[in-house]
């Protein structure tokens, strides 16, 4: 039998590893060292902001990403200029700064031997009287109000002719898009109140509201009886529910307002075909549970996470079972890639097991990060966020370095998952995000004999092929399915 240790345990490494530099590597190449960390910067709206740090690094690259309040990778071009000078100065210049640019920025300087990170906060403006919010009608009914300020503010509204201002927000926010779909018919003005100074901004011009449009939500509430919340992520939450018409239990994935395009793309991917190891999409409800939000109705996978199931059923937790489920995962990824889709978030939380059939069946879920690959341009459509801490240990080096997404990311994640599934240990996870990042960039992992005793050596060869640091050389899911290990066990 295999180890039942939790998959998140730290793997202590010593000596040589699979990613250890060869004897022919020039001695001048060393892991980067941080010399001058990034410092906080404050600029006026419309001015240029320069964030920088300095590292002692050779043959290195520098990438920047915004980590708060939202998370996104930055690309050189437009208002953003990213550079790494010969003296190790890594710079990010943001031209014509806006209030929405304020936040925390992180720089990663790395080469094939490791990487270092440093963060700094950018403040745009010194605060004061808020501006005027933008107001528009919403197709689902009601009004949508948007604001983008240097400081957090509350939104208030006043019905024309009444003269009484009412607060529309529970908590202040510097930038927000708020849908007020249940307002009674009438004309409304809006204003912002600075949370720090309580200063009131000028009111907007009156906007006409035709009354809240809730028929979509009424239809939805009649059909589905919500039971409980079973998951929550950065942009969505998942509920278990019952279809009152068929009696079937389903999963409801509610995507937050502002991410409607993600929900539409996920539904398009999942409704365009079917695979036994990929969760099925049953329906899509726009403007549910509120204006701007969307709800996906999905097949409910009741068995939970596959690794949790394996740990709870030690008699069934064998190399043969691992090989069977890994083959199912690779088959799902091969099907997606053949349909020009990359999942980009393959990790244990998104690999579930369905137990209603004669044999346990792996199910790949959560396509919120998935992208569609354009066959004409061989590029990817969709915005991809940099890996969150929970995703980092399954992210390939090119993802950590902020490079464009590709199907090869999925093959790497499958290799990490197979390592975890066989040993209960994570090959790259370390004491900190920085150390984990460095391990991934230099592909620093190994196969400790005490944890791999009794496991077919061919499994290690398969993992090495999936964890090739060069995407073009990395084994594809299609080719991995032909590996002899699946038949040997």
Q: Is 12 exposed, middle or buried (0-12, 13-18, 19+ CB in 10 A)?
A: exposed
Query: Is 483 labeled as catalytic in the residue annotation?
Result: no
Helices 408-423 + 457-466 axis angle, to 10: 150
Q: Which segments of 427-474 does DSSP mark as H helices, in order?
A: 433-441, 449-452, 457-466
- Let me know: does 177 contact 144? Beta carbons within 8 Å: yes
Tell me the pairing of strands 134-137 and 80-84: unpaired
Q: Which helix (H) or strand (E) holds 336?
A: helix 319-338
Nearest Cα to Cα of residue 311 among 385, 475, 473, 421:
421
Nearest Cα to Cα of residue 181 among 224, 219, 138:
138
Residue 399 phi/psi, 5-degree rounding, is -70, -45
Binding residues for ATP: 253
Half-sphere exposure of residue 356: CA atoms within 13 angstroms, side-chain side:
9
Give CA–CA dist 473/431, Å, rounded: 30
Binding residues: 253
- What residues does 286 pair with on adjacent strands? 294
Q: Which helix (H) or strand (E) holds 414?
A: helix 408-423
Q: Which residues contact 132 (CB under 8 A, 6 or more apart)?
A: 191, 192, 201, 202, 203, 204
Active-site annotation holder among 262, 334, 345, 483: 345
Residues with catalytic roles: 345
């Amino acid at each position: 039998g295999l180890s039942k240790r939790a998959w998140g345990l730290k793997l202590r490494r010593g000596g040589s590893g699979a990613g250890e530099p060869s004897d022919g590597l020039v001695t001048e190449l060393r892991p980067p060292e941080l010399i001058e960390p990034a410092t906080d910067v404050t600029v006026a709206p419309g001015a240029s902001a320069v964030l920088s740090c300095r590292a002692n690094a050779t043959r290195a690259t520098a990438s920047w990403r915004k980590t708060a309040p939202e998370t996104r990778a930055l690309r050189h071009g437009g208002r953003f200029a990213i550079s790494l000078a010969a003296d190790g100065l890594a710079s990010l210049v943001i031209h014509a700064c806006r209030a929405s640019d304020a936040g925390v920025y992180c720089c990663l300087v790395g080469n094939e031997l490791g990487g270092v990170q440093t963060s700094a906060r950018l403040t745009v403006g010194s605060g004061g009287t808020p501006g005027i919010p933008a107001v528009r009608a919403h197709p689902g009914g009601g009004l949508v109000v948007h604001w983008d300020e240097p400081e957090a503010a509350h939104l208030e509204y006043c019905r024309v002719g009444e003269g009484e201002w009412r607060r529309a927000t529970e908590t202040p926010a510097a930038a927000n898009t708020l849908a007020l779909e249940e307002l009674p018919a009438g004309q409304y003005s809006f204003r912002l109140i600075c949370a720090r100074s309580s200063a009131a901004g000028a009111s907007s011009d009156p906007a006409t509201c035709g009354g809240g449009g809730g028929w979509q939500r009424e239809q939805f509430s009649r059909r589905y009886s919500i039971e409980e919340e079973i998951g929550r992520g950065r942009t969505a939450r998942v509920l278990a529910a019952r279809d009152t018409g068929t009696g079937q239990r389903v999963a409801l994935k509610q995507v937050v307002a502002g991410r409607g395009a993600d929900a539409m793309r996920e539904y398009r991917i999942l409704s365009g075909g079917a695979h036994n190891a990929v969760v099925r999409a049953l329906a899509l409800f726009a403007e549910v549970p509120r204006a701007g939000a969307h709800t996906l109705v999905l097949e409910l996978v009741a068995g939970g996470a596959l690794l949790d199931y394996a740990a709870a059923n030690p008699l069934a937790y064998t190399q043969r079972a691992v090989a069977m489920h890994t083959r199912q995962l690779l088959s799902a990824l091969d099907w997606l890639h053949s349909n020009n889709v990359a999942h980009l978030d393959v990790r244990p939380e998104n690999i579930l097991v369905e137990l209603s059939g004669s044999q346990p069946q792996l199910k790949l879920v959560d396509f919120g990060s998935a992208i569609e690959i354009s066959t004409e341009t061989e590029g990817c459509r969709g915005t991809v966020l940099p890996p969150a801490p929970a995703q980092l240990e399954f992210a390939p080096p090119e993802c950590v370095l902020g490079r464009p997404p590709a199907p090869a990311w999925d093959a790497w994640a499958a290799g990490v998952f197979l390592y975890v599934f066989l040993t209960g240990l994570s090959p790259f996870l370390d004491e900190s995000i920085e150390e984990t990042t460095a391990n991934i960039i230099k592909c620093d992992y190994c196969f400790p004999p005490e944890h791999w005793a009794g496991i077919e050596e061919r499994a290690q060869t398969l993992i090495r092929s999936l964890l090739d640091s060069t995407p073009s050389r990395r084994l594809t899911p299609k080719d991995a399915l032909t590996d002899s290990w699946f038949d040997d066990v």
